[in-house]
A and B are shown apart, each in its own frame.
Chain A
Amino acid sequence: MINGIWLGLIVIGFGVAALQGRLDAGTVSFLTESRRAVDLTLALGGTIAVWFGVSRVAQEARILDSVGRRLAPLLRFVFPDLARDHPALTAIALNLAANIFGLGNAATPFGLQAMKELQATNRQPRTATPAMITFLALNSAVLTLVPSGAIALRAATGSSDPAQIVEAVVLTTGLSMAVVLAADRVFRRLAPRDRQP
């Protein structure tokens, strides 16, 4: 799909340019936009590097583990069908903690580990369990307190106050999380129980 979109942008762009007699403008952008892309990457690279530096210090100090431990008891309400000591809960808590603090790169390994632990107690290994679905939905709609990527992009493009969108992100992600958790309850009740093969 991304291939189609990219191709479409270029071909339709040049097509419209030809119709409007602006082919030269199209050619100029095609050849010079790269300069802007490199400039942006340099500015962004600096901000990303600083953030990665701080987040590596946080990882090394095991700060995420402390947050994850505190989050785990809350998860029992969200995953009622998992045993209290299910090994997936720790991985889920660490994944969510990483997402909440904008450490997206640290979140994925925990997420994959959580899926593996959930699959270990799945009696129908080719079918998703309710807990897996809740986890995936929560993973992409969890409350975000530190939108590090957005702040970095704003800093790189010259914002006078890069962090000013934090409150809006907190409210938006809080709303999505609430809606997803409520919808999950409804789906759980409506979904037909799978018969054991």
Chain B
Amino acid sequence: MLAPVTLVIDRVTKRFAQTLALDELTFSVPKGRIFGFLGANGAGKTTTMRICLGILQPDAGDVRWEGTRSVELPRRTWGYLPEERGLYPRMGVLDQLVYFASLYGVPPAEARRQAEHWLARFRIPEYADRRAEELSKGNQQKVQFIAAILHGPDVLLMDEPFTGLDPVNLALLREAFVELRDEGRTIVFSTHQMEAAEALCESLAIVDRGRVVASGTLADLKRTTRARTVRLGVEGEILPSWLTSIDGVAAVRPAAGFMELELRPGTEPREVLASALARGASVTHFEVAEPSLEAIFIEYVGHPAGDDATLESALDEDAA
């Protein structure tokens, strides 16, 4: 059954001087879902989130949550984990969590109780009284995540939340995402890490140069894609250099005992096998797999998510 749509980004356009950052960007997010907002660096993800929060004003279009324009909603509707990680370096962890929560109207005692709960949940209760600068980057990131959720927002906007996390912390954060979703919160997260997105999101939108090029549930996108994923194992070589030169191969990822190849739309799997054999490779494994999210992304955007220019910083330049 489809969840009711409650977050609507409706034809949002934003221009910074000569650069069109968002071009009638439109998508909607079902309530109580984990939503992936996928795009390369500079695609317009951060700008979209800043517009949702009211930090930036769109030139046209608007953002609505349950029918109300985002700029009319109280700030505590939103929880935001910015891509630019930052805390007060010399301030105690617990003190700054209480400080951030108090700006959203949470009473200090309640904020302290919640903060201690989440610090324990993330296995860092002993850091409560430490200065933020004494924490590792991963732990700082967890503290910042707590800062974003402490006031119990309806919508969580998470900009690249998994960047820089080790597998243990990644798993902890994913668990937290699921827990928050189960509490009925809507989570929108941007990433260019397709594996993380594929593991978590139920619906998604792929954005490229300020426009949504695909959106829907992950199952729908996989069903309708023309992209193909091939798993190819070759004897003696872990990652043969010639793989990337095969026509129609957009991306290659090493996996356990084989390589996962994302094919461009229109490329048939048998063409890859023929190319490998033509190069004298001893093929030990060949499988046509369900298309990965990365393959879908490549189909719509034309390249892997990590390859784009950093348009976002260019936009910052243009803003002034």
Q: Do A and B bind each other?
A: no
Query: Which residues of A come within 8 Å of B, CB atoms?
Result: none
Query: Which residues of B come within 8 Å of A, CB atoms?
Result: none
